[in-house]
């Protein structure tokens, strides 16, 4: 059910999105997915657990090469069949109850010794008969998969999914510098079933300083269906943004430009040649809703979900978002965080196939910025794909 008076329209998308929406592909999966949730190794963490690398698995009867050397240390001898392979692959093949991600964390933390010497590179190539000693201990990442009882701003809730309004400043996933106090921790505190799901049911992200709507799964069946819907572009997300620079030219524009890691700045993404390694296709529809000399108000519709996609595409056309320092946008009109808000979300219910559409008000900091600029706007323009 809808929460706190926010708008949810079921049965049609037209009341919230002025768009043409495709028919869902059956609306839901025909059978519940197979596979087990996170379990077994206490080190399983928020990566959802990677499956074993079968190429490194030959030569091991599971557990047969492992002997106890104390309460928290395991030792193994590398078989001939694993000679020359990566250390993290070999450990994961022998210790499949632990995720490869967790084992990489242990290696980097200095908790793994090869023939008595500490090795900190997961890509270290092992030799046949090497002795590896692994100290099983918590890492910040593994401890991040803990419940915290923080307030969730729920827009909609049923037994299969949640729609959450994430405020600006809240990190979605635990990461370096933010191992706790995240949306994922709050989801674990809200419903213990989230422990059974990779990433506590999170199927897409918003940047830390972007506010707005997110859908979160509550069952593995719903999660797999939502992940598939996102991959097939059947989850529709719209954002409102304030950007520097008066808008000129046609009010509508599609930016179709591949995005990848900026080769000159590891924290940034950038528009890249589509043929460059690491470049991924990205498309954003942009409609100018209003413009003044200082800047413009735009509505953005995502067709893909690349990291920082709207921020990168807007900067690439000469309109960096207000207060988005990473991409050249200076603070203005009282905004101290990037002026981006995910106000509309629509998708077919993963179980019932009922169309659902959600719309939440714009945040006060952006409303205030629009008033400071004296920016007139019209948000009734249709976006048809």
Catalytic position from the list 45, 88, 130, 207: 207
Catalytic annotation on 256?
no
Burial letters 278-295, b for 16+ CB under 10 A, else e: ebeebbbbbbbbbbeebb
Q: Say how far apart CA 331 and CA 323 lie, in whole Å.
A: 4
Catalytic (active-site) positions: 207
């Amino acid at each position: 059910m809808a929460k706190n008076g926010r708008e949810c329209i079921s049965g049609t998308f037209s009341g919230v999105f002025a768009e043409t929406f495709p028919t869902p592909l059956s609306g839901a999966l025909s059978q519940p997915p197979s596979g087990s949730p996170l379990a077994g190794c206490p080190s399983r963490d928020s990566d959802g657990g990677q499956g074993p690398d079968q190429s490194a698995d030959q030569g091991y009867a599971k557990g047969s090469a492992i002997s106890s050397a104390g309460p928290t240390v395991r030792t193994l001898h590398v078989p001939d069949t694993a000679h020359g392979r990566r250390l993290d692959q070999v450990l994961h093949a022998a210790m499949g109850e632990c995720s490869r991600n967790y084992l990489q964390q242990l290696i980097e933390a200095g908790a793994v010794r090869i023939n008595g010497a500490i090795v900190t590179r997961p890509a270290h190539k092992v030799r046949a008969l090497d002795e590896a000693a692994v100290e099983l201990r918590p890492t910040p990442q593994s401890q991040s998969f803990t419940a915290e009882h923080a307030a969730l701003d729920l827009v909609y809730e049923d037994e299969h999914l949640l729609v959450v309004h994430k405020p600006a400043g809240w990190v979605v996933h635990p990461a370096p510098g933010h191992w706790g106090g995240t949306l994922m921790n709050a989801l674990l505190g809200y419903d213990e079933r989230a422990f059974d799901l990779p990433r506590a049911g999170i199927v897409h992200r918003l940047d830390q300083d972007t506010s707005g709507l997110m859908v979160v799964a509550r069952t593995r069946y719903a999660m797999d269906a939502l992940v598939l819907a996102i991959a097939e572009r059947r989850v529709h997300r719209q954002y409102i943004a304030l950007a520097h620079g008066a808008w000129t030219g046609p009010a509508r524009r599609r930016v179709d430009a591949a995005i990848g890691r900026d080769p000159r700045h590891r924290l940034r993404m950038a528009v890249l040649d589509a043929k460059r390694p690491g470049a991924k296709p990205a498309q954003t529809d942009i409609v100018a809703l209003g413009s003044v000399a200082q800047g413009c108000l735009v509505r953005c519709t995502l067709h893909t979900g690349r990291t920082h996609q709207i921020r990168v595409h807007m900067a690439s056309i000469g309109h960096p978002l207000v207060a988005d320092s990473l991409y050249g946008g200076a603070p203005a009109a009282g905004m101290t965080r990037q002026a981006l808000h995910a106000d509309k979300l629509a998708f077919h219910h993963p179980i019932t196939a009922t169309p659902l559409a959600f719309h939440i008000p714009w945040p006060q900091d952006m409303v205030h910025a629009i008033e400071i600029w004296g920016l007139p706007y019209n948000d009734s323009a249709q976006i048809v794909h």
